[in-house]
Amino acid sequence: DEATSGILDRLLTYGPETAGGMMTTRFLALERSTRVSEAISRIRGEPEAETAFYLYVVDAAGHLEGVVSLRQLVLARPDQELHAIMNSKVLRARADQPRAEVADLITRYKLLALPVVDAGSVLAGIVTVDDALDAMADETTREMYRMAGLNTEDSVTSTARDSVRRRLGWMLINLGTAVLASWVVWFFEGTIAKVVALATFMPIVAGMGGNGATQALTVVIRGIAIGELEFSSAGRVIWKEILVGVSVGVVTGVVMAVIAFLWKGNPVMGLVICLAMIINLFVAGFAGAAIPIVLKWFQIDPAMGSGVIVTTFTDCFGFLSFLGIGTLLIRYLV
Amino acid sequence: DEATSGILDRLLTYGPETAGGMMTTRFLALERSTRVSEAISRIRGEPEAETAFYLYVVDAAGHLEGVVSLRQLVLARPDQELHAIMNSKVLRARADQPRAEVADLITRYKLLALPVVDAGSVLAGIVTVDDALDAMADETTREMYRMAGLNTEDSVTSTARDSVRRRLGWMLINLGTAVLASWVVWFFEGTIAKVVALATFMPIVAGMGGNGATQALTVVIRGIAIGELEFSSAGRVIWKEILVGVSVGVVTGVVMAVIAFLWKGNPVMGLVICLAMIINLFVAGFAGAAIPIVLKWFQIDPAMGSGVIVTTFTDCFGFLSFLGIGTLLIRYLV
């Protein structure tokens, strides 16, 4: 029908993830010289308008000039003209503006609706607060999906075939990074052949680094998403995450050193794993904080595949530090 | 001042994560026999009311009886009484209802405000849509934080000391699970001593399982959060994730088998790693889907520490399957 084809036209023009793609064209716009009494009877005549809480005021060519809330309309004299009561400083979105920015404007300024204008400043539609809520839920899903290396179309309702097709890409990339990490281990096969116990403790260093990096990553990605982290404070945040990583590394490293000593009866094994954990949690703090900031700097989604990227760092540096220190101190381990 | 102490009283009574804790008491409630003209002059007199887009209608004792939109008020005759034009089927929240449920009601029914009643059905306040937007952003942070084992107070603006204190708990739990995984490896030290190449490939099986499990986990946790996944479809979803895991395991396992064969020149090594990857991605699909569903069943937040829990499964089963199959086929590997 007509409504559907209108929506399709709009989406084809603007794309689903822009203000133009999410706006409705069922809004009320009246000319500046309209009287309040006339405006009220126009509302009566359009029960379908998506939000009758704001009236938009336009000139003869449709350019957005101001906004009148229904509250102002109720409180005005019936013979006043709209331009006399309208608020002419009206926040607006461009039709090609990204959906996330539109949701952010509506949230920040606590709006019920935001007018959308085309390239010529002509009022083209409105985005209502419930569309912003939907967009926010979508953006959240996107952020979590991208951290995990998931296609944003994936969901519990997708068929298995579609999910496999959508997940294979990142899993193959992850396989590549895993081969890289195993190449580091391969480099130390001679050491492992002499001290097999190193193979036993290897996963602990990598696993703790991966977990620490995921914590730093999650805090930094949320900080970017909710606007708490600006580039100006990036250095301070990276430095803080390094401090946190090293501190957590010292505490958990000492605990693990005691466990390793009790298990293997060799204090040097405890020392090797403790040092490697501290180094790897240093790497975890640095990579977990710096990678999303660098992605953002290059205007790439900071969450994009970041989980896979940071664990590549912590796997490689974890094995390198643990097996490297083990090789240096091998005379005390055999 | 008075406003602040009112907020404090309310928070002490209801807690910050309930409807009572997020509501405002600056709303407009009028008795059912009020005339439309009188209601309009009352609006004029209360420019401070948080939302003048809805008027709530109460009886003499303050019980919520209905709602009138400003739009209905504009369109009514001045001498009509509110009960004649009000909508008496009005959605409401209980003051002790969790914040997430309130945000969900506002989103689902596209409301601008939701009235909150106390235990005696007396109108106590309203929650506006912008409060729901704030609550949603908070709940999102919580969900992502819990997956990563983070305290919800943590942020890029916390001091390093606070972040260390908040993260140590889950990191020590993670250390415990990592020791469990290394205990599985220790069990096979004899095998590794004979075939050191197994140590090289070990991280690949565990890493791929961990990544596959994180993907399944993220999809299922989002499915629960946005209401796409009910307990009635839990079996189907778990089965689907197992299918996806096994399929991804077959494809990436075959690729890795070829790499291992080219690297080590032994086709049996390729076979061992391929089989272990398929088994571990089976475990990843099962654990990634089943663990949040089981947590939800026991009314625990499905995201709570789920990242740490599922990777414990994939680490332990990854090492068990890879080193177990390696031990069975050891005569073809040495």
**CATH architecture of structural domain B2-127:** Roll (3.10)
What band does B98 get if pLDDT is binned at 50, 70 and 90? confident
Q: Decide if B44 and A75 are in contact by the 8 Å CB cutoff.
A: yes
Q: Decide if A207 and B244 are in contact by the 8 Å CB cutoff.
A: no
pLDDT at residue A191, rounded to an integer: 96
A200 touches chain B (CB under 8 A): yes
> What's the complex ipTM?
0.80
**Rounded mean pLDDT, A164-178:** 93
Comparing B12 with A149, which gets the higher pLDDT?
A: A149
Is domain A2-143 annotated with CATH 3.10.580.10?
A: yes
Instruction: Find, in chain B, the residue whose alpha carbon is nearest to that of A219.
Output: B155
Q: What is the DSSP letter of A264?
A: H
Q: Within 13 Å of residue B321, how many CA atoms lie on the same side as its CB? A: 25
Q: Decide if B202 and A179 are in contact by the 8 Å CB cutoff.
A: no
Comparing B66 with B99, which gets the higher pLDDT?
A: B66
Inter-chain Cβ pairs, chain A and chain B, closer than 8 A: 297
A15 touches chain B (CB under 8 A): no
Nearest to B70 among A70, A157, A244 (CB): A70
User: What percent of chain A clears pLDDT 70, i.e. is strictly above it?
Assistant: 95
Identity of the residue numbered A255: V
pLDDT at A148 > cutoff 90: no
Instruction: Find, in chain A, the residue whose alpha carbon is nearest to that of B159.
Output: A240
A-proximal residues of B, 156-185, CB under 8 Å: 156-157, 159-160, 163-164, 167-168, 170-172, 174-175, 177-179, 181-182, 185
- Tokens read off for A305: 């595949």
**Rounded mean pLDDT, A21-25:** 88
Which residues lie across from B93 on neighbouring strands? B116
pLDDT at residue B63, rounded to an integer: 93
Q: List, for residues A274-310, the tens digit of each pLDDT value.
A: 999 999 999 999 999 999 999 999 988 888 888 889 9
Distance separating alpha carbons of residues B111 and B128, to the nearest angstrom = 8
Length of chain A: 334
User: What percent of chain A clears pLDDT 90, i.e. is strictly above it?
Assistant: 60
Comparing A66 with B3, which gets the higher pLDDT?
A: A66
pLDDT at residue B3, rounded to an integer: 56
Identity of the residue numbered A119: A
Tokens 């059912």, residue located: B32
CATH class of this structure's domain A183-332: mainly alpha
Comparing B189 with A143, which gets the higher pLDDT?
A: B189
Long-range pairs, B63-68, Cβ under 8 A, ≥24: B63/B120, B63/B121, B63/B122, B63/B123, B64/B90, B64/B92, B64/B115, B64/B117, B64/B121, B64/B122, B64/B123, B65/B32, B66/B32, B66/B90, B67/B115, B68/B39
Q: List, for residues A194-237, the tens digit of each pLDDT value.
A: 999 999 999 999 999 999 999 999 999 988 887 788 888 999 99
Which residue of B24, B43, B156, B219 is the best one to mutate when testing the A interface, meaning the one whose CB has the most A CBs within 10 A? B156
**Rounded mean pLDDT, B196-214:** 95
**Rounded mean pLDDT, A142-170:** 89
- Tokens read off for A60: 């003869």
**Rounded mean pLDDT, A121-130:** 90
Q: Where are the domains of chain A?
A: 2-143, 183-332
Which residue of A139, A140, A156 is the best one to mutate when testing the B interface, meaning the one whose CB has the most B CBs within 10 A? A156
**Rounded mean pLDDT, A29-39:** 92
Distance separating alpha carbons of residues A66 and A57, to the nearest angstrom = 5
Identity of the residue numbered A218: T
Instruction: Please name which of A213, A216, A231 lies closest in space to residue A297, comparing C-alpha atoms.
Output: A231
CATH number of B172-332: 1.10.357.20
Buried b or exposed e, range B187-201, using 16+ CB within 10 angstroms:
ebeebbbebbbbbbb
Q: Is the dihedral of CA B210, B211, B215, B216 positive or negative?
A: negative
**Rounded mean pLDDT, B199-212:** 95
Instruction: Please name which of B19, B18, B27, B25 lies closest in space to residue B4, comparing C-alpha atoms.
Output: B25
- Tokens read off for A38: 């006339």
Distance separating alpha carbons of residues A313 and A245, to the nearest angstrom = 14
B-proximal residues of A, 243-272, CB under 8 Å: 243-244, 247-248, 251-252, 255-256, 259
Distance separating alpha carbons of residues A146 and B313, to the nearest angstrom = 23
Report strand pairing: B54-58 vs B29-31. parallel
- Tokens read off for A6: 């209108």
Q: Decide if B150 and A215 are in contact by the 8 Å CB cutoff.
A: yes
Cα A84 → chain centroid: 43
B40 touches chain A (CB under 8 A): yes
pLDDT at residue B234, rounded to an integer: 93
**Rounded mean pLDDT, B158-178:** 93
The answer for residues whose C-beta is within 8 angstroms of residue A3's C-beta and 6 or more apart is none
To 10 degrees, the CA torsion angle through A226, A247, B313, A206? 100
pLDDT at residue A50, rounded to an integer: 60
A208 touches chain B (CB under 8 A): yes
A223 touches chain B (CB under 8 A): yes
3-class SS of residue A122: strand
3-class SS of residue A113: strand
H-helix or E-strand containing A246? helix A234-264
